[in-house]
Structure 1
Amino acid sequence: MTAHHQPNDTLRWGVLGATSYIATHLMPAIAATGGCALSAVASRPERSAAAAELGRPFGAAVHQDYAALLADPAIDAVYIPLPNTDHVEWTLRAVAAGKHVLVEKPMAMDEDGCTRIEKAAEAASRTVMEAFMYRFHPQQRRAAEILASGEIGELRLVRASFAFRIESGSGNIRLDPALGGGATWDVGCYAVDAPLLFFGQAPQQVTARFSSRPGLTVDTSAVATMDFGQGRSAVVDYSIDYGPRAAYELQGTRGTLMVRNAWAMTGEDGAITVLTQDGVREETVPAANHYQLQVEAFARAVRDGGPAPMSLSDSRRTARVGSALVASAAAGGAAVDTSEDVPGAR
């Protein structure tokens, strides 16, 4: 249950953690969405001047720290793209302050964090959603339509890959273990989410093997398998050592669907190939701003008081699988059960 906004009300947004990436992708998406306004930004106190500069083109006020923004009664919703280790704390604080929350993936690095957020959101009647922008790209909807049509038969295997190199010594927070860095909780989130999305459930068990680039302590590459039961599987790989690669394949009993640029950037057309015994055909999905489509979908859920399109149960499932991959890698690739309420290696 979420609080309703009147259709003519403007949903006033604040951003916790204004960076150039956010100012390039998310802040324009919020500002361009009808019925939404980017009203305020906040950063760490030592970056407040930079945050003010990023917010200026949107007419956004700047707050000296995150807590000050949450205390602003003029803010209805917040976007949280902070380091992974801060997502649960600041989402809970935002909900307690009466804000709706769109939080960058991963919502949490374990299922318990997602459960705490879900309980808090329900108690406060706030909408909270994990930001998986690729789910809102028309390319994913088209892939789902082709699968549902039966053209490639029954889905048996999903292969998903996402990789781009991050240089050592770059200062990128993805290389910092204290901030929840590593490939699994960054590019891995997308590669892992694809089979969960298309199979529509959690796997029964997973296995994973991680590697770390010399000189780094976070996982930088991984290969994992997932067993969904009844002969259905997924194979995923992800990395910040190599790339670029961003693709998934849906293998059915009668054919294959390949999405060549699965996590397309704004302005980049989607590319789908379907291979069956009848031959090969290509589809182009026109470019779309999936960041804006995500903001629009979230805002509708807030206004209508309906469920968020990326549900909190989906987020719990994704966190459970991600933490199971970490556990499997730590156990030398042992299979880890990911069924409901049955954690642990076997």
Structure 2
Amino acid sequence: MTTPTPARPAGAELRWGALGATAYISGLLLPAIARTDGCVLTAVASRPERHAQAVEVAKPYGATAHEDYAALIADPDVDAVYIALPNTDHVEWTVRALAAGKHVLVEKPMAMDEDGVRRIERAAADASRIATEAFMYRFHPQQQRAADLLAAGTIGELRFVRTAFAFEIPTGSGNIRLDPALGGGATWDVGCYAVDVPQFFFGRAPDRVGARFSSRPGHQVETSAFGWMDFGEGRGAVLDWSIDYGPRAWYELQGTSGTISVRNAWAMSGEDGVLTVRTADGVLTETVPAADHYQLQVGAFARAVAEGRPGPYPIADSRRAARVGAALVASAAAGGTPVATADGRADEPVGAGPART
């Protein structure tokens, strides 16, 4: 497990730097940092050829715009780094940031194989710093409400999970998710959500998985997929994910006596969450007030740093995610043949449900 960092002095601001001057960073993540008590954005970095973009992204916050990633990592005015680089760069820059004494919140996937997550785990322990995978949807209160209803026995014992996550990326957009050299494809992007939901609510990895991939004509990455998970004892999940169509961010928990459906797990800061519970007693729709799950994620991470605790979720969750994701890729490459993914050692705890806010 990640070694907790020494607690920060009371009242000290957590100074953030962001690797990647992208629309995602500027539109969602940096505003969340700026709105979070005890946090301040001090630096942004880009590739040298995109320095002008970094300057524009940093300007509203009075932050420094570094000309390359290494300069930000070396910046003594940065305590924590948000990494939103191509998937192939996550492990390298997370390890480098940790070695430089920074805490790290890294975009999913933390790594595309379990060995990569273990490299990060060792680096975090060596540096006594936190490394956490950024799954912002987990922090929305509607996920906690679904977990509470499940724990209360509202739908009986959980038996099956259905998930569907998708959004369209047009051909010719230049999006890195369409580039195989940068770890592109639907699976390691939008598929991370579809794969996470069943494991999150069952609280463990499946025993085995299977998947089939398809590619849009002219592309070398999978752009749509469907899969299944076997959790044993008649428990399972079916899932689909895509960058060919959308938007879609839906899941359903099937219990022995009813269902809980969440119609939009990506509900943004101005959008209420909506859950539908169906049992023999009828149908109940609940509205969960709008919340900024990006800000809630940043706040939870910052509190962990301030209090000298491990990150909001155990890094074992990220090992599990990488292992199961790689197994789905392997299954698809083998024409859908089942691949074993059972949890490994008993010393690997898993998340106990969506984040409390």
Question: Shared fold (TM-score greater than 0.5)?
Answer: yes
SS in 2 for 1:226: strand
Q: Which residue among 118, 121, 124 is the counterpart of 1:118?
A: 121
1:52 is matched with which residue? Answer: 55
1:27 is matched with which residue? Answer: 30
Per-residue CA distance 1:294-322 (angstroms, 9 max, x = gap):
00000011111112112210000001000
Measured in 1, the distance between the counterparts of 2:74 and 2:303 equals 24
Note the 1:183-198 alignment, pairs <5 A.
183-198=186-201
Show structure 2 runs of 5+ residues with no match: 346-357
Moved over 3 A (4+): none
The one-letter code matched in structure 2 to 1:307 is: P
The answer to whether the 8 A contact 1:83-1:180 is kept is yes
The one-letter code matched in structure 2 to 1:251 is: Q
2:176 is matched with which residue? Answer: 173
The answer to whether the 8 A contact 2:327-2:339 is kept is yes
The one-letter code matched in structure 1 to 2:103 is: H
Q: Which residue among 225, 245, 248 is the counterpart of 2:248?
A: 245
Post-superposition offset of 1:49: 1.3
Post-superposition offset of 1:341: 4.8
1:209 is matched with which residue? Answer: 212
Please provide the CA RMSD for this pair: 1.0
Q: Which residue among 273, 280, 283 is the counterpart of 2:276?
A: 273
Note the 1:48-197 alignment, pairs <5 A.
48-197=51-200
Per-residue CA distance 1:109-135 (angstroms, 9 max, x = gap):
001000110011011100110000000
Give the TM-score taking structure 1 as reference length: 0.97
The answer to whether the 8 A contact 1:2-1:122 is kept is no
Give the TM-score taking structure 2 as reference length: 0.94
Measured in 1, the distance between the counterparts of 2:320 and 2:77 equals 34
Per-residue CA distance 1:13-37 (angstroms, 9 max, x = gap):
0001111221110001111111110
Measured in 2, the distance between the counterparts of 1:341 and 1:37 equals 39
Show structure 1 runs of 5+ residues with no match: none
The one-letter code matched in structure 2 to 1:111 is: E
SS in 1 for 2:115: helix
The one-letter code matched in structure 1 to 2:286 is: E
Measured in 2, the distance between the counterparts of 1:312 and 1:196 equals 14
Measured in 1, the distance between the counterparts of 2:137 and 2:110 equals 15
The answer to whether the 8 A contact 1:79-1:102 is kept is yes
SS in 1 for 2:77: coil
SS in 2 for 1:257: strand
